[in-house]
Amino acid sequence: MNGIKLLVVDDETDFAAFVAEVAEEMNFEVLSTDNPAEFSTLYSADINIIVLDLFMPATDGIELLRFLYKNKSKASIVFMSGKDKSVLRSAKKLAQEQKMTVLGILQKPFRAEELEKLLLSYVQHSHIQNYDMNEFPSLEELRQALENKDMFLVYQPQINLVSRKVIGVEALIRWKHPVGGEVPASYFIPFAEENDLINDITSFTTKTAIRQMCIWDNNGFDLQMSINFSPKVLDNLDLPEKLAAYVIEMGADISKITIEVTETALMSDVTRYMDILARLRMKGFHLAVDDFGTGHSSLQQLVRAPFSELKIDQMFVRNMDRDQECRTIVEISILLAHKLGMHVVAEGIENENIWNILRDLGCDEGQGYWMSKPMTATGIDRWMTKWSSQQARFQ
C-alpha cells in the first residue's frame, strides 16, 4: 500500500493519533494535525484520502470541504463525528453533489476495524499510478489510444444471488496509458464527452463486447452482456437501428444485451432521451438505470422511462452491513424496482455478509470484488471454470 497518502484532521489529539496509527500500520503515508488552521498548509493535490472530523471549534469540516471543492481535490473523504449522525449524512450528500468521492462516515467512537475496512475499500477500488490523474489527458492522446488499440475491455461477472449461477458480465473500458498504466474510465470518459470522442469510444466498447459475447456463446458460455452508454450517445436518433443491425450482423442475441444508462440521464431530462430509449426497448435490448440512488431523478421519471433493470449504486451496497440507513435505501430500492416489474442488480458486494443480506432482501443479482474484480476475457474464462467448481458444494 506504499504510495497512498492520507491526511487526518481532528482537533481531538488522541483521536487524530489513533486514526494515524491505524493508517500507518496499513503502510499508508500519513500526515496528521489537530489544528484545522494547518489544513491548507498540509494539503496537497497528491493526497489520496482525507479523514475529516466535522465538528471542530475553530473551523468546521464543511468549511474545509468548501476548500477542497474550490481546489478541485481528487481525494477520497472519510467523515467522522461524535455528534448527530444525520449531520454526517448531510455532509456526505453535500460532498457527493460536488462530485467528491466519499469512502464512508464513521460515528465516534469507532473501532480500528471499521476504519481499516474503509481504507481497504479504497485500496481495492483505486489505481495508484505514477501518472498524474489530476491532469486530463490530451485530446490527441485519446485519439491515439483509440487508433493504437490502447483501449481494452475488462468484464465483471454478475451472479444470481440464490442459485449462484453466473448470469452475465458488465463490460468496462480501460486505457493502457504508456506512462500511467491502466487508467479507469472515470478519468477519461468525461473528457471524451466534452470533446466529441464519446461516440467513437462507445462504438469501440459496444462492438468489442458483442464480439466477445459471441465468442463465449460459441465456447458454451451463455452470458448476458451489460454495456455502459453515456447520455451524450443517446442524442443520436440512428442509434437503435445501427446497434440492432450490428448485433444481427454478428449473429448475437439482442435480448441478451443490456444497455446501462446512469441515473444522471434521468435527472437531466428523461424526455430528451425517451425516443431513443423506447426504440431500443422495442428492438429487444434491455435497459438498466445505473448508479441508482446517487442522482435526483423523480419517481415519475423512473416510471416513464422503459427500464427493465435497476442497478443499486455500490455506495449504498458496500456500507449496508454496518449502516442502517444504507441498508434501508437498498431495501426500499429493491421493493420499488420489483413493484415496477424491474430486475435488480446490486453493485459493490465486498463480503459474504452483504451477499446474504441482499439475497434475503430479494435482490436478484450482484457483482463486486468479493466474487470477482473486473478481468480480461481470458481471465473470465479461467474464473468461470473455478467459480463453477466452487459452487458445487452449495448444490
Q: Where are the alpha helices (DSSP H) in 9-84?
A: 13-25, 39-42, 61-70
Q: Say if residues 309 and 292 touch (Cβ distance below 8 Å).
A: no
Q: What is the pLDDT of residue 208?
A: 97
Residue ranges and CATH numbers for the domains of the chain are 5-125 (3.40.50.2300), 139-394 (3.20.20.450)
Q: What is the pLDDT of residue 130?
A: 41
Q: 3-state DSSP helix/strand/coil percent for the chain, to nearest 5?
A: 50, 20, 30
Which regions in the chain score pLDDT beneath 50? 1, 127-134
Q: What is the pLDDT of residue 256?
A: 98
pLDDT digits (tens, 9 = 90+) for 298-312: 577 777 789 999 999
Q: What is the pLDDT of residue 270?
A: 64
What is the per-residue DSSP string for 123-137?
A: HHH----SS-TTSPP
Cell of 114: 471499521
Q: What is the pLDDT of residue 190?
A: 78
Distance CA 278, CA 259 (A): 12
User: What Rg, from alpha-carbon coordinates, does the chain have?
Assistant: 22
For 220: left if phi > 0, alpha if psi spans -120 to 50, otherwise beta; the answer is: left
Q: What is the pLDDT of residue 322?
A: 81
Q: What is the pLDDT of residue 263?
A: 67
Q: What is the pLDDT of residue 298?
A: 58
Q: Which helix (H) or strand (E) segment is 49 a member of?
A: strand 49-53
Q: Where are the alpha helices (DSSP H) in the chain?
A: 13-25, 39-42, 61-70, 85-97, 112-125, 139-147, 185-194, 198-218, 239-250, 263-283, 299-304, 314-317, 324-339, 352-361, 377-391
Q: What is the pLDDT of residue 395?
A: 56
